[in-house]
Amino acid sequence: DGGITQSPKYLFRKEGQNVTLSCEQNLNHDAMYWYRQDPGQGLRLIYYSQIVNDFQKGDIAEGYSVSREKKESFPLTVTSAQKNPTAFYLCASNQGAPNYGYTFGSGTRLTVV
């Protein structure tokens, strides 16, 4: 079955560490997105990518980095510059037609310890 796989489901980070969240899709979607979800704030866009080797900052990109070397993969690195990284992170994709909306992964819960 086609879908988006996010791993790990839970991730713990020590202060000052960089961590990478994985997002893989087998839907052959061109566009991929990373959102951050915090209680009471909905989903906020971190980065997005429309094609391989190209990506753009979203609304809250500071302290994050991404790469898009393959169509299927869009990993997100949470750097030590992100001051409040504890959140739920969702990866999404869509196939370019706006009326289809997004397909989401199951998310990664990142906690700073």
Going by C-alpha positions, the residue among 88, 82, 86 that lies closest to residue 63 is: 82
Taking the least distance from each CB to another protein, the nearer of 31 and 79 is: 31
3-state secondary structure of 98: helix
Tokens in use for 26? Answer: 């087998």
Going by C-alpha positions, the residue among 16, 19, 42 that lies closest to residue 108 is: 19
Q: Which stretch binds another protein (CB under 8 A): 16-24, 36-44, 65-73, 78-86?
A: 36-44
Going by C-alpha positions, the residue among 112, 110, 105 that lies closest to residue 91 is: 105
If binding is defined by CB under 8 A, does position 99 make contact with another protein? yes
If binding is defined by CB under 8 A, does position 20 make contact with another protein? no
Taking the least distance from each CB to another protein, the nearer of 22 and 80 is: 22
**Which positions from 40 to 79 touch another protein by CB under 8 A, shown as an x/- string?**
xxxxxx--x-x-----x-----------------------
If binding is defined by CB under 8 A, does position 26 make contact with another protein? no
Taking the least distance from each CB to another protein, the nearer of 8 and 96 is: 96
Going by C-alpha positions, the residue among 39, 91, 42, 102 that lies closest to residue 64 is: 91
